């Protein structure tokens, strides 16, 4: 452990406070639910209802007490007990370690990627500690056009900032293991040159001062294996994205502070915007390939939880440090893009079920696996709870005397049911209220979010819209969980990051089933009583309005309108940090054109040709990955009498073979001269 590590007693008290209170509240709520259900005897659907209620209520209780812990931690303002923090004199000393900053990418927009790299690079340079950092863009791109555009964007970036020998670009041809495999390849080739490695996502952006702080904390705490700086969502304009940015800025810090307060050195790793102790990561965090086929077998998709557990098993601590700041990412621009990302995370988290009982893991690491699973299983549990409640209500309506209770099937003790419902809703919305309270108490922050009145209105509007969107996400995630259990697996595709309007036809296609569920729930509730239908109205309304909610919140025009009205503003928008402004400016100033034919670009552009061949020569083994049949076909088309269009596979094969490119270019030049 580090010199100033937290004591087991301190950690135990904090965890007992949060977990113990969550358990007590869950037991009390479950007993009250049992009392309500057993007034006239308990049917089989009601037994299932009680079990599902206990699981769902426990999940809410844990989130509630975590937020309370975060609120108290934020009010007190003390640093987490454990890590040794630098003194003023130590902060002025140059870093003696070497840190790599790596960004794995996969068919992303090169302009945005390299703008973020440049802004981060320049921000580090402004700290005076640039000599301690190297930057790597690690491409897993499969599209030829993206590949060539990345090479040109990297070359231009190095020229603009003088980054030769400090900013590196590498593209893999074998995408085994996806992002985790990409990072593993880096560790095998170059990782041992560095003391620490900062992992970014393709949309990540970090302030140089934050990177320096993270490296210095790692230097001072030799038994710290990972430090996670929670990323803040910024940079998108659609209404849906603004809702996420606003919620993350107001409520997110309370939840993150609470998690950090009771998890301490057994916190989790989120896969990006974090610093790793490279040697320990290489030696102890190699990922197993799970037995069997996907979706539960094969390479682990959600690698970050597993790597944190392995790091902790090796005796290193893992810290979540919300106070670091200067850590950013972009949210999905619309609900459908959000759901697409969730589909992959769902399968990855469910894979962790097979690792819960792996040998040697810290109990909290096992808890992280279960919490990750619960973050997705909670949705089908809520759905089953809802359906079980309806089944119980229908059972009581048609098999018991309907005059025995005021709202048949829902609760025999209506005031008691209302109290339990109020407590549940109170625990759900308390994190929002705590976050709002902190923001209002910090006057300068509230002013940068439109003022106190607009801030309160924004919280109210966000809560209403989030409540309407929640039933749709419940069905999406339920579909993902059940689909995974039935053996469906996800495809690895790049995420949608740019703002773009959704057509109404797409909304209708994706939400037709959701609206049908809403109609079915309404009909079933009305069979019991109008009162039950009224209780279900918040859920049903979100499902019936799914199409307009998704389509309208995907519009940047509505997001921009809300911003003009002072709604859903965040301080990073009204007074943007320098690194954010710089990244946006570089993106607009240095747009990267994705040419329609990458091979033509390499053959006709002397700079692109020379650069591409030079990068091929720097990785001599790449040509071995060229599919023979595709290369033969590409050579026939390129070197024949009249060039023919190449398929996507033929383009990649040609771009992997320096000899073919050289012959084809020479042939083109000869024809041009003659």
Q: Is 462 helix (H, G, I), strand (E, B) or coil?
A: helix
Kindly state the tokens that stand for 360: 């040697």
Three-state SS annotation for 2-30: CCCCCCHHHHHHHHHHHHHHHHHHHHHHH
Band of the pLDDT at 296, cuts 50, 70, 90?
confident
Contacts of 218 (CB under 8 A, 6+ apart): 97, 195, 196, 224, 227, 275, 277
Phi, psi (degrees; rounded to nearest 5) at 299: -70, 140
* Residue 291 predicted with pLDDT over 70: yes
Band of the pLDDT at 642, cuts 50, 70, 90?
confident
- Mean per-residue pLDDT for 133-158? 95
Report which of 128, 129, 127, 147 is spatially closest to residue 137, judged by C-alpha positions: 147
DSSP state of 265: T
DSSP state of 409: T
Tens digit of each residue's pLDDT (9 = 90 or more) over 376-409:
999 999 888 888 778 777 766 655 544 444 444 4
As a whole number of angstroms, the distance between CA 374 and CA 369 comes to 9
Report which of 480, 440, 445 is spatially closest to residue 457, judged by C-alpha positions: 440
DSSP state of 173: S
Tens digit of each residue's pLDDT (9 = 90 or more) over 353-375:
999 999 999 999 999 999 999 99
Three-state SS annotation for 381-445: HHHHHHHHHHHHHHHHHHHCCHHHCCECCCECCHHHHHHHHHHHHHHHHHHHHHHHHHHHHCHHH
Contacts of 419 (CB under 8 A, 6+ apart): 32
Q: What is the pLDDT of residue 627?
A: 79
What are the E-state strand segments in 341-395?
none
Token pair 């990750």 is found at 372
Cis peptide before 146 (omega within 30 of 0): no
The continuous run of DSSP H or E covering 138 comes out as: strand 133-139
Tens digit of each residue's pLDDT (9 = 90 or more) over 64-118:
999 999 999 999 887 888 899 999 999 999 999 999 999 999 999 999 999 999 9
* Residue 623 predicted with pLDDT over 70: no
Q: What is the pLDDT of residue 301?
A: 86
Kindly state the tokens that stand for 471: 């039933």
- Mean per-residue pLDDT for 153-171? 95
Average per-residue pLDDT for the chain: 89
Distance of CA 144 to the CA centre of its chain: 27
Distance of CA 486 to the CA centre of its chain: 24
As a whole number of angstroms, the distance between CA 422 and CA 531 comes to 17
Band of the pLDDT at 202, cuts 50, 70, 90?
very high
* Residue 164 predicted with pLDDT over 60: yes
Evaluate whether 137 touches 105 at the Cβ level (below 8 Å).
yes
* β-bridge mates for residue 232, sequence order: 328
> Lowest-pLDDT range, 56-70, 297-311, 550-564, 610-624?
610-624
Token pair 């068919």 is found at 107
As a whole number of angstroms, the distance between CA 502 and CA 504 comes to 6
Max alpha carbon distance in the chain (Å)? Answer: 98
Kindly state the tokens that stand for 619: 């990785």
Q: What is the pLDDT of residue 406?
A: 44
As a whole number of angstroms, the distance between CA 411 and CA 420 comes to 11
Token pair 């990855």 is found at 348
Is the dihedral angle over the CA atoms 587, 591, 597, 603 positive or is it negative?
negative
Distance of CA 138 to the CA centre of its chain: 19
Q: Is 39 helix (H, G, I), strand (E, B) or coil?
A: strand
Report which of 421, 378, 539 is spatially closest to residue 29, judged by C-alpha positions: 421
Evaluate whether 246 touches 332 at the Cβ level (below 8 Å).
no
* Residue 453 predicted with pLDDT over 90: yes
As a whole number of angstroms, the distance between CA 344 and CA 296 comes to 12
Q: What is the pLDDT of residue 42?
A: 64
Report which of 143, 157, 134 is spatially closest to residue 106, judged by C-alpha positions: 143
DSSP state of 404: G
- Mean per-residue pLDDT for 517-523? 93
As a whole number of angstroms, the distance between CA 369 and CA 373 comes to 6
Kindly state the tokens that stand for 499: 């703002």
Report which of 374, 89, 65 is spatially closest to residue 216, judged by C-alpha positions: 89
As a whole number of angstroms, the distance between CA 459 and CA 219 comes to 41
Evaluate whether 197 touches 185 at the Cβ level (below 8 Å).
no
Evaluate whether 202 touches 104 at the Cβ level (below 8 Å).
yes
- Mean per-residue pLDDT for 179-191? 93
At how many degrees (to 10) do helices 21-37 and 414-441 cross?
150
Band of the pLDDT at 651, cuts 50, 70, 90?
very high
DSSP state of 201: -
Three-state SS annotation for 603-632: HHCHHHHHHHHHHHHHCHHHHHHCCHHHHH
Band of the pLDDT at 593, cuts 50, 70, 90?
low
Q: Is 92 helix (H, G, I), strand (E, B) or coil?
A: coil
Evaluate whether 603 touches 127 at the Cβ level (below 8 Å).
no
Residue 468 vs residue 394, higher pLDDT: 468
Q: What is the pLDDT of residue 242?
A: 96
State the pairing for strand pair 274-277/327-329: unpaired
Q: What DSSP letter does each residue of 536-591 carry, written as one string?
A: HHHHHHHHHTHHHHHHHHT-HHHHHHHHHTT-S--HHHHS--HHHHHHHHHHHHS-
As a whole number of angstroms, the distance between CA 30 and CA 309 comes to 32
Kindly state the tokens that stand for 455: 């801030």
* Residue 411 predicted with pLDDT over 60: no
Alpha helix (H) ranges present in 138-207?
A: 144-161, 178-189
Band of the pLDDT at 2, cuts 50, 70, 90?
low
Count of other CB atoms within 10 angstroms of residue 549: 22
DSSP state of 438: H
Report which of 155, 394, 372, 124 is spatially closest to residue 269, judged by C-alpha positions: 372
- Burial classification of residue 86, based on how many CB atoms lie within 10 Å of its CB (0-12 exposed, 13-18 middle, 19 or more buried): middle
Count of other CB atoms within 10 angstroms of residue 641: 5
> Lowest-pLDDT range, 30-39, 249-258, 284-293?
30-39
State the pairing for strand pair 133-139/232-233: unpaired
Task: Tell me what percent of the residues of the chain surpass a pLDDT of 90.
Answer: 68
Contacts of 85 (CB under 8 A, 6+ apart): 79, 217, 220
* β-bridge mates for residue 30, sequence order: none
Band of the pLDDT at 538, cuts 50, 70, 90?
confident
As a whole number of angstroms, the distance between CA 317 and CA 265 comes to 5
* Residue 338 predicted with pLDDT over 70: yes
**pTM, two decimal places:** 0.91
Evaluate whether 258 touches 70 at the Cβ level (below 8 Å).
yes
């Amino acid at each position: 452990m580090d010199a100033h590590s937290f004591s087991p007693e301190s950690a135990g008290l904090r965890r007992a406070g949060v977990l113990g209170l969550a358990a007590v509240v869950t037991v009390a709520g479950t007993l009250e639910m049992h009392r309500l259900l057993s007034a006239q005897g308990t049917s089989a659907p009601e037994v299932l209802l009680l079990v599902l209620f206990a699981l769902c209520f426990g999940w809410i209780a844990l989130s509630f007490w975590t937020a309370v812990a975060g609120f108290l931690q934020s009010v007190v303002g003390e640093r987490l007990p454990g890590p040794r923090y630098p003194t003023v004199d130590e902060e002025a000393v140059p870093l003696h370690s070497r840190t790599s900053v790596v960004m794995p990418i996969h068919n992303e927009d090169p302009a945005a990627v390299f703008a973020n790299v440049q802004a981060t690079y320049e921000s580090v340079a402004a700290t005076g500690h640039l000599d301690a950092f190297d930057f790597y863009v690690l491409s897993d791109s499969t599209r030829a056009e993206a590949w060539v555009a990345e090479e040109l964007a990297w070359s231009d970036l190095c020229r603009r900032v003088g980054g030769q020998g400090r900013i590196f670009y590498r593209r893999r041809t074998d995408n085994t293991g996806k992002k985790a495999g990409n990072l593993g390849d880096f560790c095998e080739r170059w990782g041992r040159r560095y003391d620490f490695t900062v992992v970014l996502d393709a949309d990540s952006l970090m302030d140089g001062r934050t990177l320096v702080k993270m490296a210095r904390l790692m230097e001072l705490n030799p038994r710290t294996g990972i430090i996670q700086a929670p990323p803040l969502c910024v940079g998108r304009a659609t209404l849906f994205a603004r809702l996420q940015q606003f919620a993350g800025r107001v409520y997110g810090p309370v939840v993150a502070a609470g998690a950090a307060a009771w998890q301490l050195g057994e916190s989790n790793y989120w896969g990006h915007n974090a610093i790793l102790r490279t040697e320990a990561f290489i030696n102890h965090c190699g990922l197993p390939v799970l037995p069997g086929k996907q979706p539960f077998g094969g390479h682990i998709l959600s690698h970050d939880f597993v790597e944190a557990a392995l790091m902790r098993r090796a005796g290193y601590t893992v810290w979540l440090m919300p106070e670091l700041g200067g850590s950013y990412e972009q949210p999905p621009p619309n609900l459908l893009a959000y759901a697409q990302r969730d589909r992959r995370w769902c399968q990855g988290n469910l894979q962790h079920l097979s690792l819960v009982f792996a040998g040697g893991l810290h109990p909290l690491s096992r808890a992280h696996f279960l919490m990750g699973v619960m973050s997705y299983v909670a949705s089908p549990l809520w759905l089953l709870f809802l359906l079980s409640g309806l089944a119980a209500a229908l059972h009581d309506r048609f098999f018991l005397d309907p005059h025995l209770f005021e709202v048949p099937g829902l609760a025999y003790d209506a005031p008691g049911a209302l109290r339990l419902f109020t407590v549940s809703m109170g625990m759900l919305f308390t994190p929002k209220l705590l976050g709002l309270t902190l923001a209002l108490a910090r006057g300068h922050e509230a002013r940068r979010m439109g003022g106190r009145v607009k801030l309160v209105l924004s919280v109210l509007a966000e809560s209403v819209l989030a409540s309407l969107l929640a039933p749709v996400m419940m069905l999406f995630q339920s579909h993902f969980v059940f689909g995974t259990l039935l053996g469906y697996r996800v495809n690895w595709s790049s995420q949608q990051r740019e703002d773009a309007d959704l057509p109404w036809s797409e909304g209708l296609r994706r939400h037709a089933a959701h609206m049908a569920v809403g109609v079915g729930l309404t009909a079933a509730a009305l069979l019991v009583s109008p009162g039950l239908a009224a209780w279900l109205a918040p859920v049903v309304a979100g499902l019936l309005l799914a199409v307009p909610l998704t389509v309208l919140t995907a519009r940047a025009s509505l997001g921009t309108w809300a911003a003009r009205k002072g709604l859903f503003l965040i301080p990073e928008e009204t007074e943007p940090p320098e690194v954010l402004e710089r990244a946006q400016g570089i993106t607009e100033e240095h747009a990267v054109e994705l040419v329609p034919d990458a091979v033509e670009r390499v053959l006709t552009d002397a700079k692109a040709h020379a650069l591409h061949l030079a990068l091929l020569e720097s990785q001599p083994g790449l040509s071995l990955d060229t599919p023979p049949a595709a290369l033969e076909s590409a050579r026939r088309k390129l070197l024949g009498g009249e060039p023919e269009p190449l398929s996507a596979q033929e383009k990649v094969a040609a771009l992997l073979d320096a000899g073919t490119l050289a012959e084809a270019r020479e042939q083109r030049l000869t024809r041009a001269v003659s």
